[in-house]
Chains A and B, each alone.
Chain A
Amino acid sequence: MTPYVVSARLRRTASARQAFSRTLLVTVVFLLTPAFALAQQSTARRTEIGGDLRWLTGVQFNDVNANQTAFGGVVRPVFKTSSSIEHAACPEARFVVGLTSTLDVEASLAFGRSHLTTRIFQDPEAADATASEAVTLYLLEGGVTAHVNRFRRGRVTPTASAGLGYLRQLHAGQTFIQNKPTIYAGGGVRVPLNDADVSGWKSAVLRLEVRATILTSHSTLDNATHVLPSVIGGLLFHF
């Protein structure tokens, strides 16, 4: 009897696994293609595509010293360094699907070039110096944006957003690549510019936002968590 019981349990497990796989597949398809899925469900739901300019204000990493050991285990720095990723202006593509009148889901991809710079100082044998290298940044984010209609003033609607992302850094001609999972939160405003159905779109929306992207500690230069602030401004076109 035991093999039968095991077999039955296996069949149930397999069945449950198939059901889970179907659910997972539907969920993944839904997440990856929200525009198609939602457009088929309701033409009343907004689909917006737009472009931004995103100003990444840069990241200051923790200072790191070149330490040596003196008698008794005393730490003795022989020089000190301070590293940062400099600010960068990044073109960004954005895709928004309005789920309700107050909640959007959105995805964006920004691209930019910056520099990782290390300042070297307090070396008694050498003058202060700066060393840097070019870094290419890709920031992919996805999340939700809430329209805070309660505080709407005329055409200006405040928004609050949050989500997850991925920062990909390519160093020195892609010889070294860092991928950093990120979390973001931000707030801004949406201002509709045009309600007419012109040139194939129904309206244009000016969008301004200040966003804080949290770089998790796993792959930052100094293995610490840092906040990368950014300012986003651009237009969304409602189809």
Chain B
Amino acid sequence: MIASRRARHALVVLLAAVMMFGNAPSALAYLKFGFEVNGRQVTLKWNTTPVRYFVNDQGITGVSAADFQSATALAFATWQAVPTASITYQFAGFTSSVPGDDDGVSTLGFLNEPALDRVLASTSFLVDDATGALIESDIFFNSAFPWSVAPNGEAGKWDVQTIATHEIGHFSGLGHSAIGETQLMNGSRRVLSTGAIMFPIALGPGDISGRTLDPDDIAGISDLYPDNNFNRMTGSISGRVTKNGAGVFGAHVLAFDPGNGDQIANFTLTRDGQFSIAGLRPGPHVIRVEPLDDADTDSFFDSSDPVDLNFHPKYFERLVVVPRGGDSGVIQVTVSP
């Protein structure tokens, strides 16, 4: 789900208790969706590829169904082109089904939802709660907003391909990334910049910079659907964030590559402050730990999660070296209130 500057999103989930993966991290490259089946945590992902999807046959003013299909196909191709990920997608045809129908068919299309005045688009999932298998995922685009498929974007209109790229990240099983900066202004949040397509707030109508993936997105999709080389050619950093001797939950941990500028991040996802960041280029990394910007916890966590926002951003005093195909070994970062 992606929200406009005016808009905040609420995660739409159908027939499955989808939440952020909250167990001890095992080489997670930022947030993935997970849910519980028979007492065990299951990562939300497609088990077979290509993932087939349909497109609703109704367009809107200025965007025909064919235009919409072409733009979303480009967004699917962007994810499919990640060289270290194995997921593939296949357009199966136009359909009269609409997104949200629980028909076992993954559908993308427009719905007019003026009441959702802060939701540009949203992704939902249908999961077999007995086996954990992902059956269907639908993406709706809110036609209450103005849309465009112009190659270079169109002032005042939201770019279908940009928003589709974000939603297809969800469609594939990725949660939100917190690599981005926002500013509170007159009671609402204004996004200043983003470092991942999966950042929860779009830059603005007319912007098309979200058509391409960032390193954090690439690490995430590769972590979910690794090809043969991904785990062999990249490495991970794991560790713990503490404050006053206790673990910090919900701290945003960024791994920055001082050689090429890549930024890949994750959160501490256990009460004792454990984190793991996967998909990193072998070599030294700078580690930066910060609380979530503007106390925006509900874009990333369940409201019951004890997210700690009361500490100062900090850089770890060591460069952390990522080995090829392995883990750095556990580091401990101590933050102060």
A residues neighboring B (CB under 8 Å): 61, 64-73, 76, 78-79, 81, 83, 116-118, 120, 123, 125-126, 129-133, 171-172, 175-176, 178, 220-223
Are B324 and A131 in touch, CB under 8 angstroms? no
Are A222 and B321 in touch, CB under 8 angstroms? no
Further pairs besides A175-B326, A175-B328, A222-B260: 20, Cβ < 8 Å: A61-B258, A64-B259, A66-B256, A66-B263, A68-B181, A71-B209, A81-B256, A83-B258, A83-B259, A116-B319, A118-B286, A120-B315, A126-B313, A129-B317, A131-B287, A131-B315, A132-B318, A133-B318, A220-B259, A221-B258
Q: Which residues does chain B contribute within 8 Å of A81, judged by CB atoms?
A: 256, 258, 286
Q: Identify 17 residue pairs between A and B in the complex whose beta-carbon atoms are under 8 Å apart, listed by A's number.
A: A61-B258, A67-B195, A68-B180, A68-B195, A69-B209, A69-B214, A118-B258, A118-B286, A126-B288, A126-B290, A131-B286, A131-B319, A132-B318, A176-B283, A176-B321, A222-B259, A223-B259
| B322 on the A face (CB < 8 A) | yes
Query: Which residues of B232-273 are within 8 A (CB) of A?
Result: 256-261, 263
A120 to B193 alpha-carbon distance, docked (Å) = 20
| B282 on the A face (CB < 8 A) | yes
Give the nearest-CB partner of B328 in chain A. A175
Are B282 and A176 in touch, CB under 8 angstroms? yes
| B40 on the A face (CB < 8 A) | no
A126 to B193 alpha-carbon distance, docked (Å) = 18
Q: Which residues does chain B contribute within 8 Å of A78, judged by CB atoms?
A: 181, 193, 195
Are A67 and B261 in touch, CB under 8 angstroms? yes
Contact pick for B260, options A64, A71, A171, CB 8 Å: A64
| B36 on the A face (CB < 8 A) | no
Which of B206, B263, B319, B326 counts the most A-chain CB atoms under 10 A from its CB?
A: B319
Q: Which residues does chain B contribute within 8 Å of A79, judged by CB atoms?
A: 288
Q: Which residues does chain B contribute within 8 Å of A71, judged by CB atoms?
A: 203-204, 207, 209
Q: Which residues does chain A contribute within 8 Å of B287, judged by CB atoms?
A: 131
Q: Which residues does chain A contribute within 8 Å of B258, judged by CB atoms?
A: 61, 64, 81, 83, 118, 221
Are A131 and B316 in touch, CB under 8 angstroms? yes
| B115 on the A face (CB < 8 A) | no
Are B283 and A221 in touch, CB under 8 angstroms? yes
- Tell me the minimal C-beta distance from B157 to chain A in angstroms: 14
Inter-chain CB contacts under 8 Å: number = 118
- Tell me the minimal C-beta distance from B83 to chain A in angstroms: 18
| B323 on the A face (CB < 8 A) | yes
| B52 on the A face (CB < 8 A) | no
| B192 on the A face (CB < 8 A) | yes
Are B195 and A69 in touch, CB under 8 angstroms? yes
Q: Which residues does chain A contribute within 8 Å of B316, judged by CB atoms?
A: 131
Question: How many B residues touch A, CB cutoff 8 Å?
Answer: 44
Are B321 and A175 in touch, CB under 8 angstroms? yes
Secondary structure dominating the interface of A: strand
Q: Which residues does chain B contribute within 8 Å of A132, judged by CB atoms?
A: 318-319
Are A70 and B193 in touch, CB under 8 angstroms? yes
A118 to B256 alpha-carbon distance, docked (Å) = 11
Q: Which residues does chain A contribute within 8 Å of B261, judged by CB atoms?
A: 64-67
Closest 6 CB pairs of A and B: A68-B193, A172-B321, A129-B315, A73-B209, A133-B319, A126-B313
Are B322 and A176 in touch, CB under 8 angstroms? yes
**In the complex where A126-B314, A131-B317, A132-B318 touch, is A72 in contact with B181 (Cβ < 8 A)?**
no
Give the nearest-CB partner of A72 in chain B. B207
A175 to B280 alpha-carbon distance, docked (Å) = 14
Q: Which residues does chain B contribute within 8 Å of A83, judged by CB atoms?
A: 258-259
A123 to B318 alpha-carbon distance, docked (Å) = 18
| B274 on the A face (CB < 8 A) | no
Are B203 and A70 in touch, CB under 8 angstroms? yes
**In the complex where A176-B323, A222-B259 touch, is A131 in contact with B318 (Cβ < 8 A)?**
yes
A20 to B260 alpha-carbon distance, docked (Å) = 43
| B194 on the A face (CB < 8 A) | yes
Give the nearest-CB partner of B261 in chain A. A64
Q: Which residues does chain B contribute within 8 Å of A130, judged by CB atoms?
A: 317
Q: Which residues does chain B contribute within 8 Å of A64, judged by CB atoms?
A: 257-261
Are A76 and B193 in touch, CB under 8 angstroms? yes
Which of A61, A117, A171, A223 counts the most B-chain CB atoms under 10 A from its CB?
A: A171
- Tell me the minimal C-beta distance from B96 to chain A in angstroms: 37
Q: Which residues does chain A contribute within 8 Å of B256, judged by CB atoms?
A: 66, 81
Are A68 and B324 in touch, CB under 8 angstroms? no
Q: Which residues does chain A contribute within 8 Å of B283, judged by CB atoms?
A: 171, 176, 178, 221
Give the nearest-CB partner of A178 in chain B. B283
| B284 on the A face (CB < 8 A) | yes
